[in-house]
Amino acid sequence: MTATDAVLVLEDGRTFRGEAYGAIGSAFGEAVFATGMTGYQETLTDPSYRGQVVVMTAPHIGNTGVNDEDPESGRIWVNGYVVRDPARRVSNWRATRSLDQELAAQGVVGISGIDTRALTRHLRERGAMRVGVFSGDAAGREHSALLAQVLEGPRMKGANLVGEVTTAETYVVPALGETRFRVAAVDLGIKAMTPHRMAERGIETHVVPAGTPLREVLALEPDGVFFSNGPGDPATADTAVELVRGLLERRVPVFGICFGNQMLGRALGFGTYKLKYGHRGINQPVQDRLTGKVEVTAHNHGFAVDAPLDRVSDTPFGRVEVSHVCLNDGVVEGLRCLDVPAFSVQYHPEAAAGPHDAAYLFDRFVELMQEQKSGDAAPANAAVPTEDTAPTNNTAPEGGA
């Protein structure tokens, strides 16, 4: 074996051999695939990918290099990176370095030159699973020893990762122009473009750590509270769920995306479950059931909310309907509360990277806060939960929707 040799070993024993890409060493995590043909820099720096080894389905990666404007956070969060055909040279006027150099500088182990189509088909058939990527000296070890290391790693189901990615301290993203609203954004793994999208709409965003208690959130006197995307199993995030419940009781407008959608779902009493291989990419078709419009949207989730598609549900916080659905597999992609000011979607409307079809959701949040602020919101007729009636997490069995 040479210093450039690398090997990828899945937990079911299947192995792919290629060349080292990025840092030399070993990386472990859940093997998932992302279908975006562009936006790899935003993908790498999305905190929602914590704990995962990302396989890029697009065969050619790295041609636009890396710049300092496009990252969605201060670092790369993926545990490992898998590509088929890395760019030989950077070809973009904004690039300051190559992707290979950036991965190496941040200690991210990757592999290139493997059949990512075959790997993706395997993951679609068998499901997301634990994986190890080994390069350099580690790649020369016996297959049985490498597989044993993979099997020692933790599974994504039951993983509590929010604490690893949330901000340590509150920070403020000011509004662009006149400040119309103040929003508390609970950082479960937030991307930088999200508060920027709110700033464009006159929102001053106070990004707070995931464990911030209700009293401190309310002390900010927010017009609304936003719950961000994030990594891990939503069934582990009890603190965030309790915060959502406290806000719903007080009729504070709530908007959640991705992990935040799952927090709202759990707060309303719905369960969550793990998808077979998840949705990751910037080309997922979703229908807004309110308007009938089909949107192409950006996704990054391996879990989903278990809510009925065929009826309005009664919850301790009033009536709730599924507002959006994935047209590929029927997975719940959004919730809308009819009796309290709250809604959420399972995808990423900030479009970093991805299409802008879902940007209107930030406008819906503005409208919701404006209605609540002016007293035009619909009267509450939802029961106020008590300790005896508060919803519980009815986790559905693992599997597809």
CATH number at residue 335: 3.40.50.880
- Which tokens hold the place of 65? 């290099």
φ, ψ (nearest 5 deg) of residue 239 = -65, -45
3-state helix, strand, coil in the chain (%, to 5): 25, 30, 45
Tell me, yes or no, whether 148 and 177 share the same domain: no
The reply to whether 259 sits in an annotated binding site is: yes
Tell me, yes or no, whether 281 and 335 share the same domain: yes
Residues 73 and 45 sit within 8 Å (Cβ to Cβ): yes
Provide CB contacts within 8 A for 175, sequence distance 6+: 198, 199, 201, 202, 203, 204
Give the Cα separation of 198 and 368 in Å (integer): 14
Q: pLDDT tens for residues 239-260?
A: 999 999 999 999 999 999 999 9
* E strand or H helix that includes residue 61: strand 60-61
Tell me, yes or no, whether 223 and 100 share the same domain: no
- Which tokens hold the place of 156? 């994504």
pLDDT band at residue 394, thresholds of 50, 70 and 90?
very low
Q: pLDDT tens for residues 172-225?
A: 999 999 999 999 999 999 999 999 999 999 999 999 999 999 999 999 999 999
Q: Which of 152, 176, 192 is the last residue of a domain?
A: 152
Tell me, yes or no, whether 215 and 172 share the same domain: yes
Q: What is the pLDDT of residue 376?
A: 62
Residues 39 and 162 sit within 8 Å (Cβ to Cβ): no
Give the Cα separation of 47 and 183 in Å (integer): 21
- Which tokens hold the place of 5? 């040799």
Catalytic residue among 122, 206, 258, 299: 258
Give the Cα separation of 245 and 316 in Å (integer): 10
Give the Cα separation of 121 and 141 in Å (integer): 27
Q: What is the pLDDT of residue 37?
A: 87
pLDDT band at residue 351, thresholds of 50, 70 and 90?
confident
The reply to whether 260 sits in an annotated binding site is: no
Q: Which of 99, 122, 152 is the last residue of a domain?
A: 152
The reply to whether 29 sits in an annotated binding site is: no
- In this structure, is residue 275 part of a structural domain? yes
Count: domains in the chain: 2
Q: Which of 213, 210, 183 is nearest to 195 (CA)?
A: 183
Q: What is the pLDDT of residue 2?
A: 58
- Which tokens hold the place of 367? 């409208």
Q: What is the pLDDT of residue 399?
A: 35
Q: What is the pLDDT of residue 386?
A: 36
- In this structure, is residue 354 part of a structural domain? yes
Read off the pTM: 0.91
Tell me, yes or no, whether 134 and 257 share the same domain: no
Provide CB contacts within 8 A for 189, sequence distance 6+: 46, 47, 48, 50, 161, 162, 165, 166, 228, 229, 230, 231, 259
**Mean pLDDT, residues 152-168 taken together:** 97
Q: Is the pLDDT of residue 398 over 90?
A: no
- Which tokens hold the place of 10? 């899945």
- Which tokens hold the place of 285? 């078709």
What DSSP string runs through 257-318? ETHHHHHHHHHHT-EEEEEEEEEEEEEEEEEETTT--EEEEEEEEEEEEE--SSSPEEETTE
The reply to whether 230 sits in an annotated binding site is: yes
Q: What is the pLDDT of residue 381?
A: 33
Q: pLDDT tens for residues 117-136?
A: 999 999 999 999 999 999 99
- In this structure, is residue 395 part of a structural domain? no
- Which tokens hold the place of 260? 């935040």
The reply to whether 232 sits in an annotated binding site is: yes
Do strands 109-112 and 80-82 pair parallel, antiparallel, or not at all (unpaired)?
Answer: parallel
What DSSP string runs through 193-250? HHHHHHHTTTEEEEEEETT--HHHHHHT--SEEEE----S-GGG-HHHHHHHHHHHHT
Q: What is the pLDDT of residue 3?
A: 60
Q: What is the pLDDT of residue 377?
A: 53
The reply to whether 344 sits in an annotated binding site is: no
- Which tokens hold the place of 329? 């597999």
In the residue annotation, 348 being an active-site residue is answered as yes
- In this structure, is residue 380 part of a structural domain? no
**Mean pLDDT, residues 279-307 taken together:** 95
- In this structure, is residue 383 part of a structural domain? no
**Mean pLDDT, residues 128-145 taken together:** 96
Other CB atoms within a 10 A radius of the CB of residue 14 amount to 16
Q: Which of 229, 220, 288 is nearest to 256 (CA)?
A: 229
Tell me, yes or no, whether 125 and 237 share the same domain: no
CATH number at residue 135: 3.50.30.20
- In this structure, is residue 400 part of a structural domain? no
Q: What is the pLDDT of residue 373?
A: 86
Tell me, yes or no, whether 148 and 169 share the same domain: no
Tell me, yes or no, whether 146 and 207 share the same domain: no
The mean predicted confidence, pLDDT, of the chain is 92
pLDDT band at residue 388, thresholds of 50, 70 and 90?
very low
In the residue annotation, 337 being an active-site residue is answered as no
Tell me, yes or no, whether 344 and 368 share the same domain: yes
Tell me, yes or no, whether 77 and 36 share the same domain: yes
Q: pLDDT tens for residues 214-238?
A: 999 999 999 999 999 999 999 999 9
Catalytic residue among 295, 321, 333, 350: 350
The reply to whether 262 sits in an annotated binding site is: yes
Tell me, yes or no, whether 118 and 225 share the same domain: no
Provide CB contacts within 8 A for 184, sequence distance 6+: 205, 206, 208, 212, 217, 220, 222, 224, 225, 226
Tell me, yes or no, whether 218 and 126 share the same domain: no
Q: What is the pLDDT of residue 335?
A: 98
- In this structure, is residue 381 part of a structural domain? no
Q: Which of 350, 341, 393 is nearest to 258 (CA)?
A: 350
In the residue annotation, 60 being an active-site residue is answered as no
The reply to whether 16 sits in an annotated binding site is: no
* E strand or H helix that includes residue 254: strand 254-257
- In this structure, is residue 388 part of a structural domain? no
Q: Would you mind telling me the total number of residues written for the chain in this entry?
A: 401
pLDDT band at residue 314, thresholds of 50, 70 and 90?
very high
Q: Which of 48, 13, 45 is nearest to 262 (CA)?
A: 48
Please tell me the least confidently modeled range out of 297-301, 323-327, 372-376: 372-376
Q: Which range of residues forms the domain containing residue 21?
A: 5-152
